[in-house]
């Protein structure tokens, strides 16, 4: 793949400086870029890296334009522009529409003639697969599941009964959508399973990473809003509602019946308790323990950064003494109030 700087500029409606005939043949980081590559500068604190950069084109903002005298795309959002340029270099797997001979497809299933059904796929009763969708090797679609158009299941994805997947969705290998939620009722010393009767409904333009588990609802449906992006190794429990255009990083766990608004971002290894509501436009930094509803947009944190073990042990000891210190402070305040009352 190769494309000229002028063509990219026209394609993205982004102005350029330098030689429009310059040919771009690949993408790379600032440190690794070589002749033919395009890279980007988003954070000005890395401007010094441009001094030794060998890229043929750099994407940068007008504020940082003076740091680079070579060929450039001038963009207010360098990272976004880089993402759009990089699409030109995606490797497209050749695939012909149709059903692989090794696939097992129930005769009641509705498979669009332009869909691709890969090797060793299992498609059960009443499943629907839309136009131009790609079901990769080893995937399993259980009864009455539906996938709309232009959606890709990469490989070994399991879609349970009645789950609905929207258009232009990408689900990476090993993910399980619609398994039973963790619902049990206590009967003496025993646990009795509560039937999980809801579904999972995934909106349009959603990406779901590798080895993600999204549980079906117990009674209500589990909902994933349009445009939401979910990283690898995330667990979303039953009845959770995730709003539109959320971003959920790896190793996040969201407990049952939590409700997320729009544009919620959750940093890696965070945990959210169930039955709480998160308003729109909230960001939780990594390793946050989210136990209460949030009603105000903003950035929230709770994880403690790593520090030398000796310092951490001292801080833990201090933390254990907080209640004693609080009681002593309250006692001093009461004595001070008594003293001031006696003076009056």
We report the CATH number of the domain holding residue 268 as 2.160.10.10
List, run by run, the mean pLDDT of 10-residue segments along the chain (344 residues). Answer: 94 96 96 96 93 96 94 96 94 87 98 98 98 98 98 98 98 98 96 97 98 97 98 98 98 98 98 98 97 98 92 92 92 88 74
What per-residue confidence (pLDDT) applies to 271?
Answer: 98
Is residue 238 part of the annotated active site? The answer reads yes
Boundary-marking domain end, from 41, 62, 89: 89
Q: For residue 328, give the 3-state DSSP assignment.
A: helix
- Whether 295 and 322 map to the same domain: the answer is no
What per-residue confidence (pLDDT) applies to 344?
Answer: 65
Other beta carbons within 10 angstroms of residue 197's beta carbon come to: 12
- Whether 118 and 257 map to the same domain: the answer is yes
We report the CATH number of the domain holding residue 79 as 3.40.1390.10
- The conformation of residue 84, written as its DSSP 8-state character, comes to H
- Whether 120 and 210 map to the same domain: the answer is yes
- Whether 44 and 157 map to the same domain: the answer is no
What per-residue confidence (pLDDT) applies to 163?
Answer: 98
**Edge-to-edge, what's the strand order for the sheet holding 298-300?**
98-99, 116-117, 134-135, 152-153, 170-171, 207-208, 229-230, 247-248, 265-266, 282-284, 298-300
**Residue indicated by tokens 């679609």:** 141
**129 is in which domain, residue-wise?**
98-300
- Whether 293 and 325 map to the same domain: the answer is no
What per-residue confidence (pLDDT) applies to 1?
Answer: 82
For the chain, how big is the Rg over CA atoms in Å? 27
What per-residue confidence (pLDDT) applies to 303?
Answer: 85
- Whether 50 and 123 map to the same domain: the answer is no
Number of domains in the chain: 3
pTM for this predicted structure: 0.91
Catalytic residue selected from 134, 172, 238, 245: 238
230 within 8 A of 194, measured Cβ to Cβ: no
């Amino acid at each position: 793949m190769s494309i000229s700087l002028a063509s990219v500029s026209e394609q993205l409606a982004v102005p350029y400086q330098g030689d429009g005939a310059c040919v771009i043949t690949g993408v790379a980081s600032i440190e690794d870029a070589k002749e033919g590559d395009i890279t980007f500068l988003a954070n000005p604190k890395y401007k010094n890296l441009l001094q030794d950069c060998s890229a043929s084109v750099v994407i940068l903002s007008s504020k940082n334009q003076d740091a680079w005298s070579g060929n450039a795309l001038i963009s207010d959002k360098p990272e976004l522009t880089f993402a759009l340029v990089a699409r030109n270099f995606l490797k497209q797997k050749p695939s012909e529409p149709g059903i692989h001979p090794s696939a097992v497809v129930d005769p009641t299933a509705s498979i669009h003639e332009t869909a691709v059904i890969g090797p060793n796929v299992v498609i059960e009763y009443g499943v629907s697969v839309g136009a131009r969708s790609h079901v990769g090797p080893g995937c399993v679609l259980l009864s009455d599941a539906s996938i709309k158009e232009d959606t890709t299941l990469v490989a070994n994805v399991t879609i349970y009964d009645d789950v609905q997947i929207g258009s232009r969705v990408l689900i990476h290998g090993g993910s399980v959508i619609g398994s039973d939620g963790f619902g049990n009722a206590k009967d003496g010393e025993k646990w009795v399973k509560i039937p999980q009767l809801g579904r999972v409904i995934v909106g349009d333009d959603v990406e779901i990473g590798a080895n993600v588990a999204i549980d079906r609802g117990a009674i209500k449906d589990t909902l994933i809003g349009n445009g939401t992006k979910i990283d690898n190794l995330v667990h979303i429990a039953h009845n959770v509602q995730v709003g539109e255009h959320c971003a959920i990083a790896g190793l996040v766990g969201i407990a049952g019946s939590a409700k997320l608004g729009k544009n919620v971002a959750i940093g890696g290894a965070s945990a959210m308790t169930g039955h709480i509501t998160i308003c729109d436009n909230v960001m939780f930094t990594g390793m946050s323990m989210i136990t209460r509803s949030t009603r105000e947009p903003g950035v929230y944190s709770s994880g403690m950064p790593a520090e030398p073990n000796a310092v951490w042990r001292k801080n833990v000891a201090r933390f254990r003494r907080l209640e004693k210190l609080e009681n002593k402070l309250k006692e001093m305040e009461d004595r001070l109030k008594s003293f001031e009352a006696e003076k009056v």
